[in-house]
Structure 1
């Protein structure tokens, strides 16, 4: 089973777990293009930081629903619009 693991900052992990944040963003850099373009996953594992093995409270495993390319303005990426992979993390 192929799993995409994404470590997240606490605020983003908590928002996804609460169902408030339906997408997780990654800049469309060559690194993320290699990791996502043309790849297929069975599930996505979101972690709150880098938890110890067995710390299930800081892990969230969801089915893989894909991603879309979009352009956003977000404080995390700076003041200018940036192309991102919007990974579907909705429940």
Structure 2
């Protein structure tokens, strides 16, 4: 199975590395639906930007735990309610997707 690779901005990468952030969000749109819906992955690989392939300090790997659909309000999405894929990072009670 393939890995899902998601480049992140520093603030989100560091929050996940600290364990403060347990979900990574991607817009619920056609682009991300084609890449996520109905697929299973081995791992979620989170990168700090676009590191060189041998730069392991800018990569975090987690087992694929699925996602849930959520509506969130966040400055990154202009503080408007926005439907997103909430990709689970770390341990999860419900890994149904």
Q: TM class, shorter-chain normalised?
A: over 0.9
| Cα separation, 1, equivalents of 2:9 and 2:79 | 20
Shift in Å, 1:2: 1.1
| Cα separation, 2, equivalents of 1:88 and 1:25 | 9
Match of 1:60 in 2: 60
**Larger strand percent:** 1
Unaligned runs of 5+ in 1: none
Higher relative contact order (CA 8 A, sep 6+): 1
Q: Normalising by structure 2, what TM-score?
A: 0.90
Q: Normalising by structure 1, what TM-score?
A: 0.96
Task: Let me know the Cα RMSD of the aligned residues.
Answer: 0.9
Q: Which runs of 4+ in 1 moved over 4 A?
A: none
Unaligned runs of 5+ in 2: 92-97
Partner SS state of residue 51, structure 2: coil
